Amino acid sequence: MKWSNLENDICPVARSLSVIGDRWTLLIIRDCFLGISRFQQFQSSLDITRHVLTDRLNRLVEQGILIKEEYARGRYDYRLSETGRTLEPVLRELFNWGKRHRPLRRKTA
Amino acid sequence: MKWSNLENDICPVARSLSVIGDRWTLLIIRDCFLGISRFQQFQSSLDITRHVLTDRLNRLVEQGILIKEEYARGRYDYRLSETGRTLEPVLRELFNWGKRHRPLRRKTA
DNA sequence: CACAGGAAGTTCCTTTTTGAAACTTTTAAC
DNA sequence: GTTAAAAGTTTCAAAAAGGAACTTCCTGTG
């Protein structure tokens, strides 16, 4: 199966992953929940290349997860849509799982 | 940030994604929950290349999510570990989200 | 026993994606 | 009126994914 065919899979999990099953996408969405909304902010928060960031933001807008609003000529805020905000429980489970099962190890320097 | 540095990120969400934030990984885990345990079965269920499947299975074993058991010389069952089973709530949220927000459209053929 | 067939990988090679860095364009600042 | 920042593009190299054929070790079957 091509990744692109996933969106019509019979399994709801697969359909979800067709939207957010990407390496960076959920981190972008997490940042949105934390109030980040501009290109540069995402860029420095995630240290992702502009190239990929551009692509992911556009994709999320197409998918109706983010809304792109021009706040000045050629500059945009990306904000969670209604639908985007419904991803909160997913983020919460990832948060809980990571916290419990992948505890942060302090450097033994 | 390199993807590989994510595992030590301060954010639990990022740490979770360093394990399961891959395109195929969660689908493999979903299949495990559905009782799939052998290479060929994953391969035909997901239509993933052997190459990538080999890599993902090994990675999940390294991460302690799956346990690899030889059931015959050179043949293995991959089963969810204790830790692996704790991913159930994550899967459930993805299931719910997909079901609600990405309903399956019937072909208008 | 010789041969076919399946499981689980490997190899090799091509196509996509990423990543890194420099280059645009528009607007605001000094 | 030169300088800077925001949000991208472009360009080119490196890494990852896809495809198909090839390998090993078993397990039948005749």
**Which among A90, A95, A105 has CB closest to B12?**
A95
Q: What is the pLDDT of residue A108?
A: 54
Cβ proximity of B12 and A98 under 8 Å: yes
Chain C, protein-covered positions (CB within 7 A)? 6-12, 18-22, 25-28
Q: What is the pLDDT of residue A74?
A: 85
pLDDT in tens, A29-88: 999 999 999 999 999 999 899 999 999 999 999 999 999 999 988 899 999 999 999 999
Strands (E), A1-109: 66-72, 75-80
Kindly calculate the radius of gyration of chain A based on its CA atoms and give it in whole angstroms: 15
Cα angle value B105/B44/B75 (rounded, 5°): 150
3-state secondary structure of B41: helix
- How many residues belong to chain B? 109
Mean pLDDT score, A18-23:
91
Q: What is the pLDDT of residue B7?
A: 86
A24 pLDDT more than 90: yes
Cβ proximity of B7 and B18 under 8 Å: yes
Residue nearest to nucleotide D19 (CA to C1'): B49
Residue B57: band (very low, low, confident or very high) from pLDDT cuts 50, 70, 90: very high
Residue B4: band (very low, low, confident or very high) from pLDDT cuts 50, 70, 90: low
Q: What is the pLDDT of residue B2?
A: 57
Q: Could you tell me which chain A residue has the CA closest to the CA of B24?
A: A21
- How many residues belong to chain A? 109
Mean pLDDT score, B70-92:
95
Q: What is the pLDDT of residue B105?
A: 77
**Which among B8, B17, B99 has CB closest to A12?**
B99
Residue B47 CA to C7 C1' — how many Å? 16
Residues 53-82 of B with CB under 8 A from A: none
pTM over 0.85: yes
Q: Which two tokens stand for residue B47?
A: 């239509």
